[in-house]
Amino acid sequence: MKRRTFLKAGLATGATAVAVNAGILVPNTVLAAWNEKAFASKTVDEGMTAVFGASNAADSADVKLKAPAIAENGAVVPVEVDASALKGVESIAVFAVKNPVPLACTAKFSGAGVGFTSVRLKMGETQDVVAVVKAGGKLYKAKSEVKVTIGGCGG
Amino acid sequence: MADISFRLKAENKGDAFEVKALFKHPMETGTRKNKATGEVFPADFINEVTAKVNGAPAMVAEWSGAVSQNPFLAFRVTGKAGDKVEVSCTSNKGDSGTQTVDLA
């Protein structure tokens, strides 16, 4: 009996290992539900649809986007989104419009999480930064232009 | 699967606590080329950061390679002093790291 369960378990793990080795399952997809489609999108609209399921967001003063007007170094552009003025914030997404993949980051909130996120982004050139917030089932956005004097994606 | 090291700090902002994390990571996008050889540096970036307060999920951040090298992340949670915040990160290569901090 014991031997039988042992064999079964061995077979199951063996099959997973084979799948990983064959590249069918990238370790990525096993560990996390990273939104691969959204992070492969080439336009803001595509990215928004992949993250939120819709791309029609209303401009709102309650989405407070803080980004520098002039960034001396495009490799480190601090961006802060504060949506705590809105009720029931579910998620925030930040787009750098002209980056190869505009979607830079998303944050989803639950429980004790407050609608606020602050990160530093890379930007290759002068462009708009757009923050999209989903609150109470609706989409809100704010936009800010960042002038980049030295690009951040040069190699 | 290497460990990702990072620092974690919590600060009382009055109506909420701000948790700041500073990760040590190259955040390679996968598009940058080595000028001398023309080879592309393989993608290696933190793509998921999760935060739990007293074991309950509070925030999940998903990142692309557009987040800067040695990334900084700040987020806010409600709670009281002494609550435990656990932050974990995972990279596209499967590297990961976990740290905890007490709200104070």
The secondary structure of A86-107, three-state, reads CCCEEEEEEEECCCCCCEEEEE
A112 with B56: Cβ contact below 8 A:
yes
The residue ranking higher by pLDDT, A95 or A24, is A95
Q: Could you tell me whether strands B17-23 and B72-77 are parallel, antiparallel, or unpaired per DSSP bridges? A: antiparallel
Q: A155 lies in a domain?
A: no
Q: Which residue out of A30, A79, A114 would a mutagenesis test of the B interface target, given it has the greatest number of B Cβ atoms within 10 Å?
A: A114
Same-domain check for residues A80 and A124: yes
Residues A95 and A131 placed together within one structural domain of the fold: yes
**Residue A30: predicted pLDDT:** 43
Do A72 and A138 reside in the same domain of the chain?
Answer: yes
Residues A40 and A27 in one domain: no
Q: Phi and psi dihedrals of A87, rounded to 5?
A: -95, 145
Q: Give the residue, A123 or A18, on which the prediction is more confident.
A: A123
State the pLDDT confidence band at A150, using cuts at 50, 70 and 90.
Answer: confident
Share of chain A above pLDDT 90, in %: 62
The b-or-e profile of A36-69 (16+ CB within 10 A means b, else e) is: eebbebeebebbbbbbbeebebeebebbbbebee
Q: Using alpha carbons only, give the angle B59, B11, A78 rounded to the nearest 5 degrees.
A: 65
pLDDT digits (tens, 9 = 90+) for A94-149: 999 999 999 999 999 999 999 999 999 999 899 999 999 999 999 999 999 999 98
Q: Convert the pLDDT of each residue in A26-42 to its tens digit.
A: 444 444 478 888 999 99
Q: Is A122 close to B29, i.e. CB distance below 8 A?
A: yes
Q: Tell me yes or no: is domain B6-33+40-102 CATH 2.60.40.10.
A: yes
For residues A26 and A92, membership in a common domain is answered with no
Run means of pLDDT, 10 residues per run, chain B, 104 residues: 91 93 94 89 94 94 94 94 95 94 90
Q: In what order do the strands lie in the sheet with A77-82?
A: A64-66, A77-82, A113-121, B72-77, B17-23, B6-12
d(CA B104, CA B84): 10
Q: Are residues A53 and A107 in the same domain?
A: yes
Question: What's the domain range around A20?
Answer: 1-32
In this prediction, residue A79 carries a pLDDT of 96
pTM: 0.82
Which uninterrupted H or E stretch holds A10?
Answer: helix A2-21
What separation in angstroms does the CA of A66 have from each of A83, A113, A130, A142?
11, 20, 11, 10
Listed in sequence order, the residues at least 6 apart from B63 whose beta carbon sits closer than 8 Å to its beta carbon are A104, A105, A119, B45, B46, B47, B48, B49, B71
Q: Alpha-carbon torsion A35, B17, B5, B32, what sign?
A: positive
Flag whether A16 is in a domain: yes
Residues 6+ apart with CB under 8 A from A109: A89, A90, A91, A92, A115, B58, B59
d(CA B102, CA A55): 39
Q: Are residues A80 and A49 in the same domain?
A: yes
Task: Give B71→chain A minimum CA distance, Å.
Answer: 7
A23 and A39 together in one domain: no
Q: Between the CA atoms of A58, A60, A62 and A67, what dihedral angle is there, to the nearest 10 degrees?
A: 110
CA atoms within 13 A on the CB side of B100: 10
Q: Are residues A28 and A54 in the same domain?
A: no
Q: What is the CATH number of the domain that holds A114?
A: 2.60.40.2470
- Tally of structural domains, chain A: 2
How far apart are the C-alpha atoms of B52 and A110, rounded to whole Å? Answer: 10
Q: Residue A10's pLDDT is what?
A: 53
Q: pLDDT per residue over A43-66, tens digit each?
A: 999 999 999 998 899 999 999 999
pLDDT for the residue numbered A27: 46
Residues A93 and A22 placed together within one structural domain of the fold: no
Instruction: Tell me which residues of chain B have a C-beta less than 8 Å from any C-beta of chain A.
Output: 16, 18, 27, 29, 31-35, 41, 47-48, 51, 53, 56-69, 71-79, 83, 90, 92-94, 96
pLDDT at A34: 85
DSSP B60-77: EEEE-TTBPSS-EEEEEE
* Domain segments of chain B as ranges: 6-33+40-102
Residue A21 lies in a domain: yes
User: Does A43 share its domain with A25?
Assistant: no
* A154: in domain: no
pLDDT value of residue A29 = 40
pLDDT attached to residue A155 = 44
What ipTM was estimated for this complex? 0.90
Q: Are residues A128 and A82 in the same domain?
A: yes
Contact B68 A118 (CB under 8 A): no
A153 within domain boundaries: no
Residues 6+ apart with CB under 8 A from A138: A58
pLDDT band at A152 (very low <50, low <70, confident <90, very high): low
